[in-house]
Structure 1
């Protein structure tokens, strides 16, 4: 039986938000990864395993999962059982300003949210209504903007006071190394060079970096490459050009890694539903 492809909705007039719809997730398996955006997903059918940093649990239909930017996670099907979900990606700067305007933050600077799972039906229902609005070609831009702001505002107000501080201070040498990997994500940074830059031995560097970032330095850099690749694909750049610009040996290499972390091919991701209507009610 063929399995449904993931669907992505985006609109250049709402650059701060992107929606993903998976109606049959049995082939949707992720390696541990993170997003540059704050993300919120709704499980619309079945169950899956949710790994979030060091925690692991099951989530099922009716649950919402909340993902802080740069927090490593993976959500995968159980025993090839059908499951379906929406995932909304929201620009963190836009959301920080909204939270500030709502009085949730003292300044418009991002703070991580401590809640990872919400099971209240009112928020699940509101999420699905918002998603249906975005996916419909019969609804105009202003109504879609209002739907996103109304739902996210009510959720942020409900989560007020649940901001969290980092569990432990990340050593400045590792922050500097991570910043260097961000700036040079498309370059081949050797482990020996990372050791010289940090002053750590190879084994200590890998263990300590993973302890703080939940990824090895190499996996961290690959994750950044894919995030940058997603950004360029949304801008309409050819896949082959993106692959080479982001440091992959060729397009097939880029496609393999992209599918491993995004659970979609670059071509599937680049396509969107700006002009096509999806009957979202079928996926509730």
Structure 2
């Protein structure tokens, strides 16, 4: 795993240099993600430049204006912007207060070069479902140990982007989250069996898709449809179940975290408290 190594810079606003910068960037261990970049800029403008990856951008405060392929665009808060690789663009604050943004740079294989033209024509996607999914992806990417959740969320985002960029001629893309998806209980059961075999060591979605000869997005949908829970939620609940037994046997939380597949004790505590209602330490001390 490439450890998250935040890089933060700050420049106070002054009369001579009205620029403020706050930047955090890291490379998570999630297939398809080249970099995560969170930033707040005031008074700073990007010159024209290109990336060799797809740029998936959401703005949490303020707005950005930018030129792409000699056309001006903007990013209000409910918009997801997708900038294709190798196409020049710039960027600057659209308001006096600047902007706060979250960006995921995606490997080209996730979407493919054949969608570059469509992204150049319509880089700003006003789609509430997509905006929600991208926000949740960032939350998962910021938490070491939740790579399966991030990978699952990313594969659904990739599917959604392809749907939005390739609507059928004469139609608009269906905005229903499960439109046109068929249940597949046999595939869901196979994935559950795989997860049961890998509770401690974990299972990457990409590997599961390869082993089960299924597209990652179809895997996530089939499992969620069959069991009413996402694969990453199922795996975490199995780990918490094992952790409960160890804690009641008197095993300290730190050792329990390692023995049950959590990234560290903090990772165990977050999921344990979410599912049980108390911290692992308090749960252990309650044992009779």
Q: Normalising to structure 1: TM-score of the pair? A: 0.47
TM-score by length of structure 2 reads 0.47
